[in-house]
Amino acid sequence: MNERSERGVTAGLAGRLGRAAAISLLAGTVGGAAVLAGEAFVARHRRYAQPELGLALRATIGRAGAPPLRLVLLGDSSALGVGVDRLDDTIGGQLANLLAEGPTGRRVHLSSVGVSGSRSTDLATQVARALLGERPDVALILIGANDATGLRRPSDASAYLGAAVHRLREARVEVVVGTCPDLGAVRAIAPPLRQVVGWSGRRMARAQTTAVLDAGGSVVDLATETGPVFRADAGTLCHDGFHPSADGYRVWAHALLPAIAAAATVATRR
């Protein structure tokens, strides 16, 4: 075979291999997209825990005569304690009990204006509700999971969060934000979609951190602080595999407590 013929054969082989590789890549991409779409459909149509309508959203916890603390929760289903059916098991109830039993022995006036399914765009209405009547001392915002699972732009979602924090700070309310939790730990979403929403959640949390600090709030990185526990222990999630269980809210409460206690101390000194 002469040199020209060899070059022709080599070029032809390279072309066939290139076309085969392109077809394989396309098939893999289409197949992967189909898998993700199917998993998204299943995730959307799962039966998830719903808010307990009989669960009190306002309570006073702690001994009479103890220094008072008005604590309000804003955000999504986690601010309501979706996944549990007792006030003491919600994130607010667990935090209030920890503050009441702690060294300062607070009498916590707890309330929540959170709405299940909320995204960061819904915070403006919740802030207005939180500021009605007697001003809270500390606001805890739990938001971001629905923004992340909906693949919203982190910059857009965090801008709404930053605006909410700014309004609360202007009203002289101390603000703590628990950023988007580790969505890579949820069992309700199957891999590889779980990895995709986990990635989206990490991006959301980073953008949230910047926006909250710029607005004068405090941040607790729930994914970093509690994600490993949720990944290791399925019992931290309730029956739907998405919302926290009583144990999961307890893990969050202990992660949030130092920042909430510090904010309460600052509020008391005003």
58-61 and 107-112 strand pairing: antiparallel
Helix (H) or strand (E) segment spanning residue 207: helix 193-214
- Write down the number of H helices and E strands in the chain: 9, 6
Of 233, 240, 247, 254, the active-site residue reads 240
- Range 111-146 burial, b when 16+ CB lie within 10 A, else e: bbbbbbebbbebbeebbeebbeeeebbbbbbbbbbb
Q: Is 243 a catalytic residue?
A: yes
Of 137, 200, 243, 245, the active-site residue reads 243
Strand-pairing partners, residue 265, are none
Q: Is 240 a catalytic residue?
A: yes
Q: Is 24 a catalytic residue?
A: no
Contact, 52 vs 120, CB < 8 A? no
Of 76, 77, 111, 182, the active-site residue reads 77
Q: How far is CA 24 from CA 19, 20, 28, 69, 191, in A?
A: 9, 6, 6, 62, 22
Contact, 226 vs 237, CB < 8 A? no
Helix (H) or strand (E) segment spanning residue 140: strand 138-142
Active site residues: 77, 240, 243
